[in-house]
Amino acid sequence: GAVVSQHPSRVICKSGTSVKIECRSLDFQATTMFWYRQFPKKSLMLMATSNEGSKATYEQGVEKDKFLINHASLTLSTLTVTSAHPEDSSFYICSARPDSEQYFGPGTRLTVT
């Protein structure tokens, strides 16, 4: 099946710093990628839809100035958590779809101290 990678898999940062997470589709091109967040023992919540060559579409309640998304190529989307705070600590997962089926990256666990 299609492969989606994420980097880094785990990151610890200090409060107030920014963190960039990369999502790559390894064997297909993806004009659309999705970013999800999952808190412990909770389901995945869609944060935003990343569109290649245009602005991302954010879900209600997600601050676009805090979670910057850049989809600069057909195989790469990045999520930057700016001025991170401890409440941003979460599991961030991206997905992409080569067809009607979505494939998830392995996720990035962010811990903000």
Give me the residues that bind another protein (CB under 8 A), please. 1, 32, 34, 41-46, 49, 93, 95, 97, 100-107
Decide whether 43 or 65 has the Cβ nearer to another protein.
43
In the complex, least distance from residue 15 CB atom to another protein, rounded to whole angstroms: 26
In the complex, least distance from residue 22 CB atom to another protein, rounded to whole angstroms: 15
Largest CA distance in the chain: 39
Decide whether 30 or 81 has the Cβ nearer to another protein.
30
Print the SS3 string covering the chain.
CCCEEEECCEEEECCCCCEEEEEEECCCCCCEEEEEEECCCCCCEEEEEEECCCCCEECCCCCCCCEEEEEEECCEEEEEECCCCHHHCEEEEEEECCCCCCEECCCEEEEEC
Decide whether 9 or 83 has the Cβ nearer to another protein.
9
Q: Rounded to an integer, what distance in angstroms lies between the CA atom of residue 90 and that of residue 26?
A: 24
In the complex, least distance from residue 59 CB atom to another protein, rounded to whole angstroms: 9
Decide whether 28 or 82 has the Cβ nearer to another protein.
28
In the complex, least distance from residue 83 CB atom to another protein, rounded to whole angstroms: 26
